[in-house]
A and B are shown apart, each in its own frame.
Chain A
């Protein structure tokens, strides 16, 4: 068994860097800087200033040595030094704003993108969440966005400054001695080619490295979440071996890219040293040859300026590399941001008026994958205020029906109407505000029990929450918690038992005073005593509301106004408990099983 706890990388992680539209992505990232145009424009100004200022400083250094120092004029030396100091001070002052604005702009851009992504996430339909791993979303919001942040804060502006330095230094050198400069220019393509070759190799290694790292993280996340099972089944050693393999695999890629850059950087270094050697030989010749007799000062000037010419080539290489990483992050984030919802409310969606609660399915077909329908030819009418029980084996389509009523998915064909309004034509929000769902596995949020109960009605007073809990007849259970309603519900509600959590989600549903109530019954997690009280409370609660219950309990089923028996996506029987028992077919059979096991 080779494949243990592995996670196959999915399409949205695989990004081919060679096909990456770096500049398009950069443009898109920077479109988020538009609201911060002032900082952005200042930055551009500062960057241009700095591009010219750094070569100017180097030039000044050489000029002072060649001029006043060579000629031995002490007062000129002092004056020149003071001038140099003043220029340096101005440059550094500009640098302060350059850094600050870049950092702030980067943060602001990330902040805005993060917000946009979250907003988008909230709008994506359930189908997205069923196929997307949580870890991937977190990855987008953390490491990928961090890469983009670095891109904005450092890479872009540093690159522009570097490129500017290169140009300005080139012009200065050209002006100073064009022959020496041509030698320099001849070396540049070598550096550029080296860069190209190695950058490709490094990015390729890094891409593979990231892929293998996402396997490490995914495995790790599963191990942490499944720790109880791991310990219960004494799997630690097997897992540890496997994890060691994964880590070793990842380190191979890190070593690979590390090795490539260990070759690459010294080669670049060697190139600029080659230039120094050439400078000495050619510059020396041009000074020594009485026919040419260039001043010795040229060598000194070039010595300082050449750095500003070669350094950027190196830097720009690695900056391009970083930019690629950043843009891979950006590409992933934007892909998430561009994920089209499979469906949205039509632009002219009407808000649903206050519902009486009539729900009708007409010739409805539905499949999560339209090619494989899980519901076929569903027809039924739920009168306002009636209780509909959905009965059937696992996979018979009960959950799909409630998912459709809750407008988590849209019908593939046929219609679903609420008080005669086609569900596809109404706004989801207006429906959800009149509806409550209790999921089989209760999902609670970080915060107090109180916060959780009034989750959908944050404006509700404590008194209202208490009243709701009383109506559910479970206030005593909340009171018995360590801090009553103010008890913190930890991550995944770790401090509450499954039954207590279930009660909280019941109360949360009740708070909403919904017109349509959907219960994916999970009452078996609640002990008999507590459940009995909930059953009582639900009886009064269901009064006057249309309810859909995926029913597991005989008591719930028996009370229903209409029982729909589902089998392989079709309604095979319908009627009340008594009618169906008399029919003596599928439901009667299920009932027999049930009473035998109960």
Chain B
């Protein structure tokens, strides 16, 4: 069980490995992908044919008009019948160019829409839910260790990066390679020496792209980090706005934000200079081929060795296309870095071990009576032990209250029961069966949990209560709400059980939220109830209602409750006192009050009057 820490840079997969993984991922879409490749090749052929025809047209006009001009090379030997008038020939060429263009348009449409279907319709739709699903199953450690904004981005932006690898990197690379081959092949067929001369500079362009990409890659990474930090700042300031306003600290926040903001801008400038230098350099280098064409090609044309139309003009057009493809290499390199960075973060999630796993053959007892035993349980988050040698047993239906100072490990005991974490050592038994032998989902369904701070979803009251069992009937929901003393206030809400909660919906008080959380927990009728300080956010006026609700909910269930109030402690069948992760005292309220120790002291201090009055 290795603790999850932010991804260590050393054991990151190399770019090469990542690319292979991405290709493997795309392999399942190979048919669709191949289809697009075929379209693209066909398109290329059509482009060349169109150009060639245009060149022939120019040459033909020259041939007719200018005495001494060379005879045009008809493509594939398709010379027009000799009896055609020149105008007829031109019309035929014009029609052919247009016809080719029409086919090209159709093919472009097909290529684009299939690519779109493949990326947006298949890959993203498959991958996003996959990452999301995996996320949901990761252990709490992962969520403790990663900022939520960065986690969210993995499903949104980073998945798009994987898509980007398909259409911007892989497909574009293929297009570049294929068109390079086709263009060069075509040029060679016209004139070998001119082709070689024109292409002499090409490696320089490629070199330039590579150097640039290398230089800029780390800067982009840094940029992303700075941007993340900026967003983090923003999130903090918005979340903390009540404190910021109450203390009049707006100016300080503005200053801190400005610093983060300035960092982003200043770092960008470094990238910009390189970016700005790169494009014109590559642009000039690719224009250099034009100079060669004009100088050397012009010389050849002047000597009649190549025609002006199919020679010079077509060469010029092809060189422009080539230049576009070469500058595309830089885009590809850029997209590649972006997509690999995103893909790495996506794979991080997909590879993240699901720490809490169900066994292959889980124990599936018919019923759970709720006998719980902690056997020498140790637990830590990777550093200092949080729980040390916790050992106790609870009989079915008993109520166990857990007490102890802040940070003594109460919440940890609670989170071990539904296996949010597993003990580092020792084991926890439910009805004599190690928790790890149960199916995790099955186990959690049998435990009703109320967290310290209740989290409700932007959804209706009813849906929030039925969170663990979305198919629950209205009757069941209402029953749960009544147990949690929530029914009355719910019916007072504008739309009763259909009132929408959450950020966009209506706001509830802490006590109301917590009662919904209790309703949510009891809806499943679990044999085990885990209440992590449920009254923390509830005012005393309503606390007694909850106390009564908990009382009702506890009937027939084994209950673990983190509590402070004497009433609850007195009600418990057993009180466990934790200090610094150790179990220091155990017994009933009366036992413990009679003994010298933390418990007795704490209760005395807390409420001298009531304690006296009530202990008697």
Nearest Cβ on chain A to B492's Cβ, whole angstroms? 9
A571 to B66, CA, bound (A): 106
Given contacts A274-B98, A593-B541, contact A524 B536 (CB under 8 A): yes
Contact string against A for B residues 419-458, beta-carbon threshold 8 Å, 1 for contact and 0 otherwise: 0100000000000000000000100110101011101011
The answer to whether B449 and A233 have CB atoms under 8 Å apart is yes
Alpha-carbon separation in the docked complex, A446 to B609 (Å): 40
Sample of 4 more A-B contacts, CB < 8 Å, known A69-B301, A118-B254, A436-B247: A273-B97, A497-B411, A524-B535, A553-B540
The A31-87 residues at the B interface (CB cut-off 8 A) are 61, 64-65, 68-74, 77-78, 80-81, 84-85
Question: In the assembled complex, which residues on chain B have CB atoms less than 8 Å from the CB atom of A225?
Answer: 148, 455
Contact mask for chain A residues 419-455; partner B; CB cutoff 8 A; 1 contact, 0 none: 0000000001111110111011101111000000001
- Which residues from A are CB-within-8-Å of B100? 273
Q: Does chain B have a CB within 8 A of A595?
A: yes
Measured CB to CB, the closest approach of chain A to B211, in angstroms, equals 16
Q: Decide: B463 and A4 in contact? CB cutoff 8 A.
A: yes
How far, in whole Å, are A78 and B299 apart by their CA atoms in the complex? 8
**A584 close to B (CB within 8 Å):** no
Chain B residues closer than 8 Å to A281, beta-carbon distance:
90-91, 93-94
CA distance A8 to B458 in the complex (A): 9
Quote the shortest CB–CB distance from B561 to chain A (angstroms).
Answer: 13
A-contact bits for B248-271, CB 8 A (1 contact / 0 none): 111011100110011011001100
B284 touches A441 (CB 8 A): no
Which 3 residue pairs spanning A and B have beta carbons closest together? A432-B248, A273-B101, A499-B406
- Tell me the complex Cα distance, A142–B235, Å: 12
Does A339 sit within 8 A of B, measured CB to CB?
no
Q: Which residues of A contact B261 (CB under 8 A)?
A: 111, 114-115, 118
Cβ of B29 under 8 Å from chain A: no
Q: Which residues from 212 to 267 on chain B have a C-beta closer than 8 Å to any C-beta of chain A? A: 227, 231-232, 234-250, 252-254, 257-258, 261-262, 264-265
B19 within 8 A of A: no
Given known contacts A69-B301, A232-B420, A524-B536, A277 and B95 CB-to-CB distance under 8 angstroms: yes
A334 within 8 A of B: no
In contact, B265 and A108 (Cβ under 8 angstroms): yes
Q: Return the chain B residue nearest A68 by Cβ.
A: B298
A304 adjacent to chain B (CB < 8 Å): yes
Nearest Cβ distance between residue A38 and chain B, in whole angstroms?
15
* CA distance in complex: A581, B312 (Å): 105
> Are B248 and A99 in contact, with the CB atoms below 8 A?
no
Known: A74-B299, A122-B253, A277-B101. Is A598-B406 also a contact (CB below 8 A)? Answer: no
Q: Are B106 and A598 neighbours in the complex by a CB distance under 8 Å?
A: no
Interface-facing stretch out of B189-197, B331-339, B503-511, B582-590: B503-511
Contact of A7 among B312, B406, B458, B535 (CB under 8 A): B458
Known contacts A273-B50, A532-B606, A597-B567: A228-B467 contact under CB 8 Å = no
Nearest-Cβ distance from residue A420 to partner chain B, whole angstroms: 21
A75 to chain B, nearest CB (A): 10
Q: Are A142 and B231 in contact (CB under 8 A)?
A: yes
Q: Are A445 and B135 in contact (CB under 8 A)?
A: no
Report how far A530 CA is from B116 CA in the complex, Å: 61
User: What are the residues of chain A within 8 A of B457 when measuring CB–CB?
Assistant: 5, 222, 226, 229
Query: For residue B439, which residue of chain A has the nearest CB?
Result: A234
Chain A residues, Cβ within 8 Å of B407: 477, 480, 496-497, 499-500
A491 at the interface (CB under 8 A from B): yes
Let me know if B538 and A524 touch, CB within 8 A: yes
Chain B neighbourhood of A229, CB < 8 A: 451, 455, 457, 467, 520
* Nearest residue, chain B, Cβ from A492: B239
Chain B residues with Cβ below 8 Å from A255 are 116-117, 120-121
A179: CB under 8 A from chain B?
A: no
Q: Tell me which residues across on chain B come within 8 A of A590, comparing CB atoms.
A: 540-541
Identify B468's interface contact among A223, A226, A233, CB under 8 A: A233
Q: Is B539 an interface residue (CB 8 A)?
A: yes
With A432-B248, A528-B602 known as contacts, the answer to whether A490 contacts B144 (CB < 8 A) is yes
CB distance from B51 to the nearest CB of A (A): 9
Assess the A118–B542 pair: CB atoms within 8 A.
no
Tell me if B418 is interfacial: C-beta within 8 Å of chain A.
Answer: yes
Query: For chain A residues 573-595, which have a beta carbon within 8 Å of chain B?
Result: 590, 593-595
Residue B62 interfacial (CB < 8 Å)? yes
Q: Are B152 and A224 neighbours in the complex by a CB distance under 8 Å?
A: yes
Measured CA separation A555–B540 after assembly (Å): 12
Asked if B547 is at the interface of the complex by the 8 Å CB criterion, the answer is yes
* Cβ contact within 8 Å between B537 and A69: no
Of all chain A residues, the one with the shortest Cβ separation from B466 is A1
> Can you report 7 residue pairs joining A to B where beta carbons are below 8 Å apart?
A7-B458, A92-B287, A115-B261, A121-B237, A236-B441, A258-B117, A498-B536
Tell me which residues across on chain A come within 8 A of B227, comparing CB atoms.
142
Known: A7-B504, A223-B132, A228-B451. Is A266-B104 also a contact (CB below 8 A)?
Answer: yes
- In the assembled complex, how far is the CB of residue A237 from the closest CB belonging to chain B, in whole angstroms? 8
CB-CB nearest in chain A for B57: A280
Pairwise interchain contact A84-B290, C-beta atoms closer than 8 A: yes
B156 touches A220 (CB 8 A): yes
Residue of B nearest to A259 (CB): B113
Query: Which of A277, A437, A445 has most chain B Cβ within 10 Å?
Result: A277
Q: A133-B504, A276-B97, A436-B246 are in contact. Are A446 and B277 (CB under 8 A)?
A: no
Q: A3-B460, A229-B451, A288-B87 are contacts. A280–B94 as well, Cβ < 8 Å?
A: yes
Verify if B291 is at the interface (C-beta below 8 Å from A).
Answer: yes
The interface bits of chain A over 274-306 (1 if a CB of B lies within 8 angstroms of the residue's CB, else 0) are 101110110111011000010010011001100
> What is the bound-complex CA distance between A508 and B240, given in angstroms?
13
Please report which residues of chain B, range 134-157, place their CB below 8 angstroms from some CB of chain A when the two chains form the complex: 135-137, 140, 143-144, 147-149, 151-152, 155-156
Determine if B272 and A92 form an interchain contact, defined as CB atoms under 8 angstroms apart.
Answer: no
| Alpha-carbon gap, A399 to B542, bound state (A) | 16
Decide yes or no whether B544 CB sits under 8 A from chain A.
yes
- In the complex the two chains form, what is the Cα distance from A304 to B464 in whole Å? 66
**Among residues 526 to 546 in chain A, which have CB atoms less than 8 Å away from a CB atom of chain B?**
526-532, 535
- Stretch of B8-16, B75-83, B122-130, B368-376 contacting A (4+ beta carbons < 8 Å): B122-130
A95 touching B129 in the complex, CB below 8 Å, given contacts A68-B298, A134-B503, A528-B602: no
Bound-state Cα–Cα, A458 to B244, Å: 13
Chain A min CB distance to B304 (Å): 8
Mask, B590-609, CB within 8 Å of A = 1, is 00000000100111011101
Do B275 and A288 touch across chains, with their CB atoms under 8 A apart?
A: no
Across the interface, name the chain A residue whose C-beta is closest to B601.
Answer: A529
Are B265 and A254 touching (Cβ within 8 A)?
no
Give Cα distance in the complex from A255 to B468, angstroms: 34
A461 within 8 A of B: no
Contact string, A470-505, partner B, CB cutoff 8 A, digits 1/0?
000000010010100000001110101111100101
A111 touches B463 (CB 8 A): no
Instruction: Contacts A222-B458, A436-B247, A524-B538 given; indicate if A598 touches B566 (C-beta within 8 A).
Output: yes
Contact B291 A81 (CB under 8 A): yes
Q: How far is the CA of A134 from the CA of B458 in the complex (A)?
A: 13
Decide: B533 and A524 in contact? CB cutoff 8 A. yes
Residues of chain A within 8 A (CB-CB) of B491 are none
Residues of A within 8 A of B87 (CB): 284-285, 288
* B242 lies within 8 A of A437 (CB): yes
Output the residue of B231, B243, B303, B512 with the most chain A CB within 10 A.
B243
Asked if B360 is at the interface (CB within 8 A of a chain A CB), the reply is no
Q: Contact partner of B241 among A5, A129, A432, CB < 8 A?
A: A129
Given contacts A78-B295, A527-B405, contact A435 B246 (CB under 8 A): yes
* A10, A236, A406: most-surrounded residue (chain B CB, <10 A): A236
B48 contacts the other chain (Cβ, under 8 Å)?
no
Q: Among B242, B272, B313, point to the contact of A104 (Cβ < 8 A).
A: B272
The 8 Å CB contact of A270, one of B60, B101, B156, is B101
Partner of B537, one of A68, A437, A522, A558: A522
Does B614 sit at the interface, judged by CB under 8 A? Answer: yes
Shortest CB-to-CB span from A205 to chain B, Å, is: 12
From A18-26, A317-325, A386-394, the one touching the partner chain is: A386-394
Is B156 a contact of A598 with CB atoms below 8 Å? Answer: no
